[in-house]
Amino acid sequence: MEHRYIGKPLLRLEDRALLTGTAQFIDDIKLPGLLEAAFVRSPHPHALIRAVDFSPALALPGVHAVFGYDDLRRVLTSDMIPTDKTGGDRFPATTWPVVVPKDETCFAGEPIAIVVAESRYIAEDAVSLVEIDYEPLPAASDCRQAAAADAPKAHRAAPGNVVTEFSTAYGDVDSAFVAAEHVFSVALKQHRGGAHSIEGRGIVASYNGASGEFTVWSATQAPHKMRNGLMELFGLDEDGVRIIVPDVGGAFGGKNVVYPEDAIVTAAARLLGQPVKWVEDRREHFLAAIQERDQYWDLEIATDGEGRIAGIRGKIIHDQGAYTMLGLHTSHNCSIGIPGPYVVPHYRIDVAVVETNKVGAIPVRGAGYPEANFAMERMLDAVARGLKLDRAVLRQRNLIPAEQMPYEHPMKTREGTPTIYDSGDFPRCQAQALAGADYETFNERRVRAREQGRYLGIGIANMMKVTGRGPFESATVRVGRSGRITAFTGAMAMGQGTGTTLAQICAEHLGVSPEDVTVVTGDTSVTLHGLGGYGSRQTVTAGNSMDQAAREVREKAIKVAAHSLEVAEQDLELADGEVRVRGSDVAMPLSAIAKALSGAKGYSLPKDVTPWLQANVNFRPPDVTYANGCHVVEAEVDIGTGGVKILRYVIVNDSGKLINPLLAEGQIHGGTAHGIGNALFEWMGYDENAQPVVTNFAEYLLPTATEVPRFEVTHLEHESTLNPLGLRGIGEAGTVPAAAAVISAVENALESFGVQICEAPISPKRLVELILQAKQAH
Amino acid sequence: MTDRRRIALTVNGLQRDGEVEGRLLLADFLRHHLGLTGTHLGCEHGVCGACTVLVDGQATRSCLMLAVQANGRSITTVEGLAPDGEASHPLQAAFHERHGLQCGFCTPGFLMTLVEFLEENPEPDEAAVREALSGNLCRCTGYQGIVDAALQASASLRETSGQ
Ligand code: FES
Ligand code: FES
């Protein structure tokens, strides 16, 4: 069927307010009597809190309150932040996040008390007047050392720093290694920094003493998770806490949990009976917003004489930070994400999740898949080097052939169900990317460049990312009595263009244009349930809900109009906001139908319709969908300075049917830029005592317009068979293979020196070091 | 304890005044005293560029400047970019058409940086645009839409100025 809006690169509906400065972000919320907060944060990675004295701070004019553990606990039902503890029954109790530590602080930057004042300026003045007597304790910093039995413990009361150990395995890997012709090992150090949305976190909480209810504005990715967490903490039900999310200035995983700050600000509003605002500054984002951080990988890959993979085995040590804030998502994804689009017959990865005295580590855009991809692609480059095979040929040999689709992978999903790749063509994806990047003629370019003393390299990475995770997402389409169409969803807009995408889907069925549909995200009072934005899931889940809800509204409108106009349903069409009899001017506007359905006098309703011109659908995907892609990068390395310049960046991505190709491409661009940051720039440093040594954007480098190249993107659109619209996710697709592809190109450029790169990010300084080492070794 | 001073300045063509503490940042004055919340703060230490406004026509980081330093000066913020308050400035139109924004939090800073840049460099190439934007951080777009928007806007600005 030819679509009017689905699949079209429409310009965004969101832009006008954002371009004129009239959008409302969290720091723009104004309420009468609004007070502002600042946090007293632990300067120590690990310390006992022996005594607190708030009196000097309280004496400062303009300060309304200083609250610590004892004050806050009076209005909270628990010391702990409500969090998903799935699979964590046997974790030490100390690993679960606390609201405010009672007597032991476990990372530098942990909130110990809140100051509420007339302005943020005064609140910050007062923070410096709060006196806390700390007794510093030894800290766990490097996760490898922290895993040792005699290491300083991240929590005094924990049995040790290893939160859990688990294995992801299938087949008989050890026998496969015994039988294999070749075995190669790779040891990797991987690091991903923080989320670093340009807008930080933030919250405005207000409490209505008469009703006992909270209204909370929050810059969150997951409003319902925030609602559920806060209602539990204050002993309320769903009606007791309303979360409203204003415009969100990016999130990328950094706004996907209930943080201590959220609970504390809300408690302060409750205690004071006055609204309180806190907006995170960048230093706080470095100190106390989640990161993905450090992992150490020891891997082996076994192959036959032609490089066909026989098995993969290895170990991961994962730095979880001081608290388990979102289960094992990152580390588990790492353990299942390695094979991706390749045939890997036998497999075992052992993972140790280790606590350190740093802020909790949870998924940042990509969620462990970038690390898994880096590991796989580094192994394949090692095999190619060892067997003197072309890297593209080796990959082609190991990719799952298109004829084998749908392919049941021996890996189990996170839920323990089979992994089934429903459709796609991975070899074609790679072939197209190589052709687009002129891979065949690269050697000529490399030789010419060498004649000028320049070092060029080319890198390849194939990726696969789980997307579209359920169990559901909500969409409600409502036509009001005025005829206006509003679509409510539990999906959360935070910059992706969710409003436009969902409006396109809705308008497709209702005979209106997308601008006639108002999409409302981020309000728990109008959308009672939802999961929100993470894991490249929303277009797949909410998109299909919206599709079905809009169809239902259409059917209902036609049924009511047929009844009122006394014509057959098949003679009616929906266009321009009315249902009309085809080829005549007899029509019934949607507003009249909506009125009829909401019980207006003078209208009779067909017997079998429910009241209201509205439909609610919670599409439940039968399984996750998989996005795949191939990145090919050509880069130049300055061997004197270690500087890397990306010359070309070619992407072929398959996220199934695209609702809006323009916005899809934007997702790929942004995601890939994030991955380039992970490859070359972003490093969240801590010293050996777990003290952060990177706390601003001068020390932590985000990629800028001069380092990010022009992306050449092509989309394959193998429609998923698992949802009616044929969608797969896209938000993280660009991020996953970027570090692998970029570093493969850098290593390739330095091939003549024999440099091997086993870490990400790689700084210019480190590259020069590796070049010098390699020169000395030869 | 606080020293307060009266300041008078022009903001988006209007005469504004206020009594402010000496330490008040220009960004906070614009946002919270004048209610011009289009100017955003992304780092408060002069790196991200989100807070960029024009001070006497020059792109300036309003997180690094005090309100009192703006006394007597003329400030333009994103709200003053198009006289009708619509997104009708060629840069705004181009950002919309080239998908130069996602969350839009960084966008006012990019727009204001580009206003000055395109005035001084009416016919830049891509490399020059990227260089000019290298002091502004965007986490969402990967910059390509922004760069394309800047190039498109420079062309339409040249057209309207009859060059
Ligand atoms: S807020 Fe001023 S440069 Fe970042
Ligand atoms: S559009 Fe989100 S930071 Fe630039």
Q: Is the pLDDT of residue A385 over 70?
A: yes
The reply to whether A567 and A637 lie within a common domain is: no
Nearest CA in chain A to B111: A19
pLDDT attached to residue A280: 98
Facing B130 at nearest CB: one of A19, A669, A706? A706
Please indicate, yes or no, if residue A186 is contained in any of the structural domains. no
User: Measured in Å, how far apart are chain A's first and last C-alpha atoms?
Assistant: 64
For residues A562 and A593, membership in a common domain is answered with yes
In this predicted structure, the answer to whether residue B1 has a pLDDT above a threshold of 60 is no
What is the mean predicted confidence (pLDDT) over A649-671? Answer: 97
- On whether both A333 and A406 belong to a single domain, the answer is yes
B77: contact with A, CB 8 A cutoff: yes
Domain count, chain A: 3
* pLDDT score, position B55: 98
A198 Cβ inside 6 Å of ligand 2: yes
Q: Which of A600, A619, A638 is the last residue of a domain?
A: A619
Q: Which superfamily does CATH assign the domain made up of B90-161 to?
A: [2Fe-2S]-binding domain (1.10.150.120)
Q: Alpha-carbon distance A217 to A571, whole Å?
A: 47
Q: Which atom of ligand 2 is nearest to the CA of A249?
A: 2
Query: Taking 90 as the threshold, does the pLDDT of residue A416 lie above it?
Result: no
| Whether residue A242 sits in one domain with residue A205 | yes
Cα(B135)–Cα(B131) distance, integer angstroms: 8
Domain that holds residue A496: 470-619
CB-based contact A497 B146, cutoff 8 Å: no
Cβ neighbours of A248 in B, within 8 Å: 103
Specify whether the CB–CB gap between A534 and A540 falls below 8 A.
Answer: no
Which member of A12, A196, A281 has the closest CB to residue B44? Answer: A281
Report DSSP state, residue A651: E
Residue contact A12–B145, C-beta within 8 A: no
Contacts of B12 in chain A (CB under 8 A): none
* A731-773 per-position pLDDT tens digit: 999 999 999 999 999 999 999 999 999 999 999 999 999 999 9
Q: Which atom of ligand 1 is nearest to the CA of A697?
A: 4
- The mean pLDDT value of chain A amounts to 96
Both tokens of residue B129?
Answer: 């645009």
Q: Is the pLDDT of residue A704 over 90?
A: yes
Which of B2, B51, B105, B141 to mutate to probe the A interface, most A CBs <10 Å?
A: B105
Question: Which residues in chain B are contacts of A696 at CB distance < 8 A?
Answer: 43, 45, 47
Q: Round to whole Å and give the CA distance between A105 and A96.
A: 13
**A25–B24: do the CB atoms touch at under 8 Å?**
no
What's the gap in Å between the CA of A119 and the closest CA on chain B?
10
- Greater confidence (A419 vs A217) lies with A217
> Which residue among B45, B48, B144 places its CB closest to the CB of A711?
B144
Q: How confident is the model at residue A723 (pLDDT cuts 50, 70, 90)?
A: very high
- Rounded Cα distance between A234 and A263, Å, is 9
Across residues A545-558, what is the average pLDDT? 96
CB contact under 8 A, A247 and B45: no
pLDDT of residue A483: 92
Is a pLDDT exceeding 90 seen at residue A608? Answer: no
Write out the E strands in A638-774.
644-654, 711-716, 759-760
Report whether residue B43 contacts ligand 2, using a CB cutoff of 6 Å: no
What is the model's pLDDT at position A305?
A: 96
Could you tell me the CATH number of the domain that includes residue A372?
A: 3.30.365.10
Ligand 1 site residues (CB inside 6 A) read B 41-44, 46-51, 61, 63
Query: CB under 8 Å to B22, separation ≥6 — which residues?
Result: B2, B3, B4, B5, B66, B68
Q: Identify the pLDDT of residue A599.
A: 85
**Has residue A324 been placed in a domain?**
yes
Residues of chain B contacting A673 with CB distance shorter than 8 Å: 141-143
Predicted confidence (pLDDT) per residue in A38-75, tens digit? 999 999 999 999 999 999 999 999 999 999 999 999 99
| Tens-place pLDDT, residues A429-488 | 999 999 999 999 999 999 999 999 999 999 999 999 999 998 999 999 999 999 999 999
Closest atom of ligand 2 to CA, residue B140:
2
Q: What is the pLDDT of residue A417?
A: 84
Same structural domain, A315 and A397: yes
Q: Do the Cβ atoms of B42 and A121 come within 8 Å?
A: no
State whether A605 and A630 are in the same domain. Answer: no
Residues A168, A173, A178, CA angle at the centre, nearest 5°?
160
Confidence category of residue A1, pLDDT binned at 50, 70, 90: low
Residues A387 and A501 in one domain: no
DSSP element (H, E) containing A467? strand A455-467
A675 found inside a domain: yes
Q: Do both A327 and A275 map to the same domain?
A: no
Q: What percent of chain A has pLDDT over 90?
A: 94
CB-CB contact of A502 with A545 (8 Å): no
pLDDT bracket for residue A100 (50, 70, 90) = very high
CA distance A389 to A411: 27
Q: CATH top-level class for B4-81?
A: alpha beta
Give tens-digit pLDDT for B124-142: 999 999 999 999 999 999 9
Q: Is residue A509 part of a domain?
A: yes
Domain match, A752 and A632 both: yes
- Whether residue A197 and residue B87 make contact (CB cut-off 8 A), yes or no, is no
Mean pLDDT of A172-192: 98
Helix, strand, coil content of chain A in percent (nearest 5): 30, 30, 40
A232 in any annotated domain: yes
- Percent of the residues in chain A that have a pLDDT greater than 70, as a whole number: 100
The amino acid sitting at A608 is D
Whether residue A226 is found in the same domain as residue A239? yes
Q: Tell me the nearest-neighbour CA distance from B99 into chain A, angstroms.
A: 7
pLDDT digits (tens, 9 = 90+) for A237-255: 999 999 999 999 999 999 9
pLDDT of residue B87: 85
Contact yes or no for A108/A691 (Cβ under 8 A)? yes
Where are the domains positioned within chain B?
Answer: 4-81, 90-161
DSSP string, A670-696: HHHHHHHHHHHT----B-TTS-B---S
The residue among A595, A619, A643 that closes a domain is A619
Q: Do domains B4-81 and B90-161 have the same CATH topology?
A: no
CB pair distance less than 8 Å for B141 and A670? yes
Residue A670 has its nearest CB partner, among B37, B47, B142, at B142
Q: Examine residue A187 and state whether it is found in any structural domain, yes or no.
A: no
